[in-house]
Structure 1
Amino acid sequence: MDILFPWRRQSLSSTSNNRHDRPHGASATSSASGSGPYHSLPHPDEAAGRYGQTGGGGYDPREYGGSMRESLTSRSVYSSVMGDGSSAEERGGVGQSGYFQPQDQLNMSDTERTQGSTVRFSDYDQHEEEPRSRRQRQSTLQSSMRSRNSAMSNDSYNQSYRNIDAGNDEYEAYASSRSFGEYAEEMTQSYRSAGLSDSFTNNKDLRSSYKSVDDERQYASLQKSFADRNQALLQQSSSSRLDVPPIEEEEEDLPPTPLRQLLDAINMSILPNTLRLSSLAQAVEFFDHRDRAMHDSELQEGAAYVLYHKLGLPLRLSKGIDLEESENSNPSPYPKNGPNHMLTYQQHLASSTQLHQQSEYDKEIAMICSCLEMVHRANPDAIAQTWDECGVEILPLLVSVLERPFQKIERAVWMALQEKANVPGSLERAAAVAVTRDMKLAVQKVTKVLAMYSLVPEAKRPMCQCEGMLRWLTRIIDTHNYNRVKPGAPVIGGTASTKSNLNLARPNDPKPEVAHQNENEKRMELASRATSGSGLYMTEAARFNTIATLTNLAALEDNRMQMLQEPGLLDNICRAVHNERSDVPKQCSALAIMNLSNGDPDHVPEMASNDMVLETLLKLIKEDNPETRRNAVVTIFNIACSDQNTVRLARYRDGTILEALTNLVGSDDPVRLHDEARANAAETIFNMSCSEIAETTDRMANHAGLLECLAVTLRSGDHTGLEVKMYCSATLRRMAELIRYPMIAQGALLSALVKASTWTSTDCIAEAFHAQASVPDNCVIMAHHHGLLNSLSRLALARGTSTEVDKVRDAAIAAIELMSRHDEARELLAHNEGIMMALTRASYGETGSLEGSMVRQSIASDFQGSDTGSYMDDSGRRGDEYDEDDASVQSRRIQVALKNLVSAM
């Protein structure tokens, strides 16, 4: 605990000089030059007077610093003799703040001083770089040596302080009554104990001359020569000892900076409350700027520590008033003397006094929170350093600030429920009046500080684990009753509710205890409904800061499942999208939902069962902001990673989500502003098509316009990205593997494949034709479909030397070969010029020549063994049973297909 001494207790002789009725222009030196050995700071009453005379402006910096420097030059401060003979200057020093400090604390570094028992910091002035360099402290080694040799421990300091404070007059009388001879005898004893007794006692001339001297001036000169002689003896005796490096004397401290004076004033302002408010008003004016470098220096000087330290006092005092109000009010849901119980005059008077005190504390808390938000407008490194030093310990303080308005709302609603249960709208008015402007401002500033801390990686987990943090952050963004004032909305505490309450307990009710229980439940329901939507009483900036904080916390994987388990957190984030007027909260909410949808490696969030989440995602997909669209689509993709979630997505509002994804993929985007969102939407559709649940794929296949949209996207020009087209072609291939005769969607699929046949960057469309032809029942339908044979021949005749083009040609030829095995489809294939040209070119390729091939005899044998004069189907010898390589197998199939078509002509 930081112990500060704003003023010192003095001796009786010096008390009259430091009375609080001293004139304003009187200097503190007069009090220091009295019999008391210490300089004392002005009493709080005197400081309050100074604030009143200056109009609340506080101390004059020149007068404040001048009085301190005059007190430092006072001989009574530096010449005070301690118990063992050392002076105050040797043991420590009088700090610029006016209280005595041990020397080891004066030599501490800036970081060590912020953690010690006295708060003392380096200069803060960016325009005086050279004076700052002259004020550098000694090294740690020298500081520790100085502490061992000359500094005074805390125990000895306290003991010496008590001795001097209690017996100052007796000590001075004793010192003045000693004769020079007694003083010399004490010196003799001290030097004898130091090992210099022989040198001192053998010097008979000095002793005899000393005894013959009676004049004080001659004694002073003799004492000087005596000290010089013994100094030489000390150097001679220490020549054989270990040499200790000399300690550099500390340079004289510079005058306190404005920041130092301000922090000292805040620290010393304890009572009364007006003194604290005046110092905080100066702090608000001082810290209100946008210079990040200056805010970095303020954090390094310890401004945040001082403000957090001062925040605890008004929070504790206001909590005491809140407890007293809770004791005076009836916590039970039943009124004391009926529903219209009136307070007495004494109770009203006490309530008004408490209200005034509470308002003063609210104002003080709001000013401290404002200062905290201002000093945290620093660079991320400075904020991270502040968190590393005090972050975890100050979280309960910030949570206490967040919970104050909501606890006030709950108490106000309960009191209104007891006193005015039958008045329409009384609960809403009580909740609205309970939250003051200062409370709103404090919550807004604290949420901004939390948003800054949430950017620190080390702070994410402790903030999420802090008790009450997620609960009150959820309440801040609770806008559940946003439409309660609109026509047709359910009226809470209104006429309908009153009528229902009046009918609860009837005189002829045979079971009054049941009616009493029902009345209690109704009151509880009214109270819960009135306290819901309490985030509407907060500012829009506070809600945005809260959403930003939750977004940053959800970026950590360990926090996601805990945040999803918090009641109402996800729903309130979604309500912000529907209720906030600004676009910034919507963008932040989309990012928060996306982070929460990632889950962890072991759990996939079950968001698909939450209609509020799905409705929010539909709204975000239609936003104009590209990043908002992308985050919404990524959220749907994360949800679709689970098969059970894909069914819910496909079912929701009869395919509304599929329609939104389809429209986004097929949207016209010439400048490619939403290219990333379109790619994510196409990937989501492909991810859903890979589901193993038949209902999902059936709904996708039967969804109107989905397959056609994918095909049209493949035919689009350069304004559609390559990634979008690749996912569209992959989805068509996947759907071709699933759809077959006699499904209704087969016609739409074949039409989509015909339109997408121009896509040759990948072999997906050609493989889709091959997948359809691999089912015997599909071959005849494919042969009769308009334009399909021409599209298939174009794929088989595709030109190019790349590997992908070769794959396209091979897949198309394989599909033609499979269709040629059926007699009904063979005639249609034989009369198509493109099909015949493709097979002929393929048969005379580099690996498919009939001349010199090893398969010519097998073809002849097949022809001879055929009863119909057509070549046999060798499909039974495909796969692993065939011993020849793949090229020979493909060549044989092409030749067989060509012979079959020639025979059918």
Structure 2
Amino acid sequence: MDVLFPFAARQQQHQPPPSDDENFHSLPHPEEHASRYGAGPRNPMLRGDHGQGQSQRQLGGQQPSFRRPRPGGMARRASVASQASQWSWSMAGSVAQQPSSRNLPSRQLSSRQSSFLSMGSASNHSQSTGSDMISFRSGQEHSMQEGMRRSEEYYEASPQQPSDGAGRASQARRPGALSASFSPMDGAMDAYNMSRRNLGANGGSNRNLSSNGGSNRNLSSNGGSSRNLSAGLESDHPYDDEGYYDEEEEEAEEDLPVSPLRQLLDAINMSILPTSLRLSGLAQAVEFFDHRDKAMHDAELREGGAFVLYHKLGLVLRLSRCGDHEQDAAGMRNHGSLDKKGGGPNGGNPNQMMSYQQHLHHSMLMQQQSEFDKEIAMICSCLEMVHRANPDAIAQTWDDCGTEILPLLVHVLERPFLKIERAVWMTLQQKANVPGSLERAVATAVTRDQKLAVQKVTKVLAMYSLVPEAKEPMTRCDGMLKWLTRIVDTHNHNRHRGQGGVDNSLRSSLRGDRNLHPQHESEDEKIRAQQRQELAARAMSGSGLYMTEAARFNTIATLTNLAALEANRMAMLHEPGLLDNICRAVHNERSDVPKQCSALAIMNLSNGDMDHVPEMARNDLVLETLLRLMREDNPETRRNAVVTVFNVACSDQNTVRLARYRDGTVLEALVELVSQDDPMRSHEEARANAAETLFNMSCSEISETTDRMANHAGLLECLAVTLRGEHTGLEVKMYCSAALRRFAEIVHHPMIAQGALLSAMVKASAWTDTDCIAEAFRAQAAVPENCVVMARHHGLLNALSRLALAGGEGGDAEGVRMASCLAIELMSRVDEARALLSHNEGIIAALTRASYGDDGGLLPVEVGGGGGSYGGGDYGEDDEESDGLRSRRIQVALKNLVSAM
């Protein structure tokens, strides 16, 4: 059967082949397909009904008019097809009767016509394709039928043809005349035409419409006996329930054009064998779908383009799998060996060597697999093109066939890696002692078409991963995470092993000691098998380096989108090597885009709740990756890296590991980011997240974490200086002041960090937007051992008096003044510190103002115990005291200071 595709293709310009790390395209030009598979030259123009050429570039605008054939109008199509040269594919190996040896088959009925082609013989078997019912003849019947058609008696004995098409029909079928096609489909059309002609009267027209005005009008045949039309004809042609023919309705339907898209999809769907037929159709599809019009891609998805391509992909994958099984049967994949003793073309005696017939058979299988690789790459390219649509159309496609096509896409992803494993095992068996043999075997195992197929499939998966309903099924699909992890695996042990790639010790151990005692042979074999496994694992590591950079980026984007769903995170973190390979992409990729995407993926994976916070701090590779990302110039990358550190720091155990790592390297990176002067505030969000991370870590209940942070050089000073910065946002300053208050609550005398803390508090005393610094002074004064140290610290009393005399109105300003005065009052309880406080004018002025107010009147007080004691008041219970009691305490403190002067 021949399938006609009646539209022209655009002329494709030849470009030099791109490198492997580019988004290359290995699809050949359709002219190359034509010359390779014996098809004639292409006609770049399409002949319409009026003989005017129309290029495929015009498909987006005015569509060419393709008229649907009338019943019995096969002769007209044959005549038209014989006059116009059109692109065709031979599906049954038919030979066209043209001087240019070109196949010009008749155009098949579209699937929208739901036509029913019936055969007279009961032995025929019909096959349904879409909505078409196509029946085929046996070879013997086909030969007999064609022999009759070549005879003059065949045409003379045939019923009279319609007057408008009789001449052309007889000329198109007579021997010696130009024939449109020669295929089993012609017999079906002949039977169809004969059945239509038999509907008329004896020797009359094929449409006998009586007009006697009676109500019992029907289509009569064989002496006027009436019968109804079959269901197939009734559904496609304009006959009413009583069998009357409506010519106007038929002509109206005839004017409806069949879109080139529908014809293309029908042609692809009907092309099964041979392989050249499928490749030619896919070459046309690649040209047709290669555009950036999302509206047209939406129409392609609605028309069922993805379904047809997935159907064709499943067919080719099945054929390719059969080829793999044939290789297994031939002994080509017996764990990499050709026989049980490990003989091969490069070793063993002549009886163990592969024969010439085996070599020939192996070459044929490899050629067949190469054809399959090219076809799979073309199908995946078409799938990627039709999915360049709007998100709604992609989501609808997923709803229709999403979960069912995931195994197909997974199988496309695994094919190159299975081939790498096969090459590694064969090399270990045959050339284990040859330096560099494993590296060469892995590098040459994956073909260009397999790389392209993986690149296109990962792009389709990245589009599907944006659909909310697709995230969890994709993660749960068997093998999906495994092969996505292998694609982004860029960790190659062999590149750091010197000349030869792998360890020479492992290579030499594979040779074995041939003089071993027999009782040690079994143990030695186990050791060598284990070493062989290790050698193979090292050779196959970094297999993602043999994929394209675009494929790795698409994979990282897919994993990032999948990790956005909370239900997927733990399953992804449990996948061996997934997180490590994402981190390696930051160190090994040359482009900044994979780094940005990796930072987002790591952030999504770290985003857990308090019960399921990933213990990512145990992985040194993750921490090293975060350090590198926090120093990137891209603001979004920095922000995502810092958010990841914040998520990890939500666990107390993780805070210890972060503080310990490389003697505070993570803390240093956070400090640098917080203290960075950014006049343009391009990194303001990252700075806020870094300050929040420091505050979150300072709230840890593990003393080792807070001690390491307090003793880290420059951390406390950085917090204080940031509060005085002119180009620092309010959010950053609030987290810095809160962190200083937290350190003031846990750092006391005689800790080494107390001096740095007091200096930082003095520098930060200018911050009065919140009461955090004033509360820090109060927290330090609450410990009697700290009071003398505070009173003697340079500039501390002046800073404290400025806070107590700070102006402004509102709750925050009043809280700052009250907290500062309470800190002075707590310090005045210690005799040694009281003498130092009494000689400071600012301290006396602050207490006087707090006791008597600006208007000279006393603040409301409650009469209580006098003297210097406070009736059992505890240092830590000041927050629950009333305003009256606080005022009374301040007045008593002022009295004591005056008495000490």
Corresponding residue of 2:465: 454
- 1:12-34 Cα offsets, whole Å, 9 max, x none, are xxxxxx9xxxxxxxxxxxxxxxx
Aligned mate of 1:682, from 664, 667, 691? 691
**TM-score, normalised by the number of residues in structure 1:** 0.74
Corresponding residue of 2:638: 629
Give how far 1:551 is off.
Answer: 0.2
Q: Kindly provide the amino acid, as one letter, of the partner of residue 590 in structure 2.
A: R
More displaced stretch, 666-675 vs 66-75: 66-75
Corresponding residue of 1:892: 888
Q: 1:554 to 1:512 in 2, by over 3 A?
A: same
Q: 1:757 to 1:617 in 2, by over 3 A?
A: same
Give how far 1:61 is off.
Answer: 6.0
Corresponding residue of 1:740: 748
Aligned mate of 2:549, from 516, 523, 540? 540
Give how far 1:502 is off.
Answer: 3.0
Q: 1:705 to 1:229 in 2, by over 3 A?
A: closer
Q: Kindly provide the amino acid, as one letter, of the partner of residue 97 in structure 1.
A: S
Q: 1:489 to 1:607 in 2, by over 3 A?
A: farther
Corresponding residue of 2:212: 225
| 1:437-448 pair list within 5 angstroms | 437-448=448-459
| 1:802-881 pair list within 5 angstroms | 802-845=810-853, 849-850=857-858, 855=863, 858=864, 862=866, 871-874=867-870, 876-877=872-873
Tell me the distance in 1 between the aligned counterparts of 2:603 and 2:695. Answer: 19
**SS at structure 1 position matched to 2:114:** strand
Tell me the distance in 2 between the aligned counterparts of 1:641 and 1:504. Answer: 55
Q: 1:834 to 1:504 in 2, by over 3 A?
A: farther
Corresponding residue of 1:294: 296
Q: 1:381 to 1:851 in 2, by over 3 A?
A: closer
Q: 1:165 to 1:735 in 2, by over 3 A?
A: same
- Assess if the C-alpha contact under 8 Å between 1:478 and 1:533 holds in 2: yes
Tell me the distance in 2 between the aligned counterparts of 1:592 and 1:343. Answer: 49
Tell me the distance in 2 between the aligned counterparts of 1:500 and 1:848. Answer: 96
Q: 1:601 to 1:889 in 2, by over 3 A?
A: closer
| 1:214-363 pair list within 5 angstroms | 224-225=211-212, 227=214, 251-253=252-254, 254-327=256-329, 328-332=331-335, 336-338=340-342, 340-341=347-348, 342-363=353-374
Give how far 1:853 is off.
Answer: 5.6
Tell me the distance in 2 between the aligned counterparts of 1:667 and 1:506. Answer: 69
- Assess if the C-alpha contact under 8 Å between 2:512 and 2:528 holds in 1: no
| 1:506-517 pair list within 5 angstroms | 506-507=515-516, 511-517=520-526
Corresponding residue of 1:694: 703
Give how far 1:492 is off.
Answer: 4.1
Give how far 1:259 is off.
Answer: 1.8
Q: 1:6 to 1:600 in 2, by over 3 A?
A: farther
Tell me the distance in 1 between the aligned counterparts of 2:853 and 2:478. Answer: 75
Tell me the distance in 2 between the aligned counterparts of 1:70 and 1:880. Answer: 97
- Assess if the C-alpha contact under 8 Å between 1:504 and 1:519 holds in 2: no
Tell me the distance in 2 between the aligned counterparts of 1:759 and 1:325. Answer: 77
Give how far 1:889 is off.
Answer: 0.8
Corresponding residue of 1:402: 413
**SS at structure 2 position matched to 1:511:** helix
More displaced stretch, 382-391 vs 656-665: 382-391
Corresponding residue of 2:773: 765
| 1:36-185 pair list within 5 angstroms | 52=38, 54-55=40-41, 62=48, 69-70=68-69, 72=71, 74=73, 96-97=109-110, 101=114, 117-118=130-131
| 1:555-574 pair list within 5 angstroms | 555-574=564-583
**SS at structure 2 position matched to 1:224:** coil
Give how far 1:635 is off.
Answer: 0.4
- Assess if the C-alpha contact under 8 Å between 1:96 and 1:256 holds in 2: no
Q: 1:757 to 1:167 in 2, by over 3 A?
A: closer
Q: 1:849 to 1:571 in 2, by over 3 A?
A: same
Corresponding residue of 1:729: 737
Residue 778 of structure 2 is aligned to residue 791 of structure 1: no
Q: 1:439 to 1:56 in 2, by over 3 A?
A: farther
Give how far 1:228 is off.
Answer: 5.2
Q: Kindly provide the amino acid, as one letter, of the partner of residue 615 in structure 1.
A: E
Tell me the distance in 1 between the aligned counterparts of 2:308 and 2:585. Answer: 36
Aligned mate of 1:484, from 494, 498, 501? 494
Which is richer in helix?
1
- 1:801-832 Cα offsets, whole Å, 9 max, x none, are 12101000000000000001111011110000
| 1:415-430 pair list within 5 angstroms | 415-430=426-441
Corresponding residue of 2:140: none
Tell me the distance in 1 between the aligned counterparts of 2:775 and 2:886. Answer: 15
- 1:567-626 Cα offsets, whole Å, 9 max, x none, are 111110001001101000000000000000013564111111111111110110111100
Structure possessing the higher radius of gyration over alpha carbons: 1
Q: Kindly provide the amino acid, as one letter, of the partner of residue 261 in structure 2.
A: L
Residue 715 of structure 2 is aligned to residue 716 of structure 1: no
Tell me the distance in 1 between the aligned counterparts of 2:879 and 2:544. Answer: 75
Give how far 1:517 is off.
Answer: 1.1
Tell me the distance in 2 between the aligned counterparts of 1:650 and 1:883. Answer: 33
- Assess if the C-alpha contact under 8 Å between 1:606 and 1:639 holds in 2: yes
Q: 1:255 to 1:884 in 2, by over 3 A?
A: closer
- 1:53-94 Cα offsets, whole Å, 9 max, x none, are 54256995648999974554539999xxxxxxxxxxxxxxx9
Tell me the distance in 1 between the aligned counterparts of 2:39 and 2:525. Answer: 62
Q: Kindly provide the amino acid, as one letter, of the partner of residue 356 in structure 2.
A: Y
Residue 400 of structure 2 is aligned to residue 389 of structure 1: yes
- 1:308-363 Cα offsets, whole Å, 9 max, x none, are 11111211111111122233125347763346244221111111101111111110
- 1:437-482 Cα offsets, whole Å, 9 max, x none, are 000000000000110111111111111111111111001001110x
- Assess if the C-alpha contact under 8 Å between 1:772 and 1:778 holds in 2: yes
Corresponding residue of 1:24: none
Q: 1:901 to 1:494 in 2, by over 3 A?
A: closer
Tell me the distance in 2 between the aligned counterparts of 1:668 and 1:897. Answer: 43
Tell me the distance in 2 between the aligned counterparts of 1:60 and 1:49. Answer: 20
Corresponding residue of 2:897: 901
Corresponding residue of 2:479: 468
Give how far 1:268 is off.
Answer: 2.4
Tell me the distance in 2 between the aligned counterparts of 1:462 and 1:707. Answer: 48
Corresponding residue of 2:98: none
More displaced stretch, 491-500 vs 422-431: 491-500
Q: Kindly provide the amino acid, as one letter, of the partner of residue 759 in structure 1.
A: W
Q: Kindly provide the amino acid, as one letter, of the partner of residue 659 in structure 2.
A: A
Tell me the distance in 2 between the aligned counterparts of 1:892 and 1:545. Answer: 70
Q: 1:260 to 1:812 in 2, by over 3 A?
A: same
Q: Kindly provide the amino acid, as one letter, of the partner of residue 886 in structure 1.
A: S
Q: Kindly provide the amino acid, as one letter, of the partner of residue 720 in structure 1.
A: T
Corresponding residue of 1:367: 378
Q: 1:227 to 1:737 in 2, by over 3 A?
A: same
Tell me the distance in 1 between the aligned counterparts of 2:761 and 2:835. Answer: 22
Q: 1:888 to 1:319 in 2, by over 3 A?
A: same
Residue 599 of structure 2 is aligned to residue 612 of structure 1: no
Tell me the distance in 2 between the aligned counterparts of 1:416 and 1:455. Answer: 41
Corresponding residue of 2:146: none
Corresponding residue of 1:140: none
- Assess if the C-alpha contact under 8 Å between 2:109 and 2:132 holds in 1: no
- Assess if the C-alpha contact under 8 Å between 2:309 and 2:379 holds in 1: yes
Q: Kindly provide the amino acid, as one letter, of the partner of residue 767 in structure 1.
A: E
- Assess if the C-alpha contact under 8 Å between 2:699 and 2:742 holds in 1: yes
**SS at structure 2 position matched to 1:762:** coil
Give how far 1:177 is off.
Answer: 8.2
Q: Kindly provide the amino acid, as one letter, of the partner of residue 211 in structure 2.
A: K
Q: 1:698 to 1:904 in 2, by over 3 A?
A: same
Q: 1:653 to 1:50 in 2, by over 3 A?
A: closer
Identity %: 65
- Assess if the C-alpha contact under 8 Å between 1:761 and 1:804 holds in 2: yes
Q: 1:854 to 1:300 in 2, by over 3 A?
A: closer
Residue 625 of structure 2 is aligned to residue 639 of structure 1: no
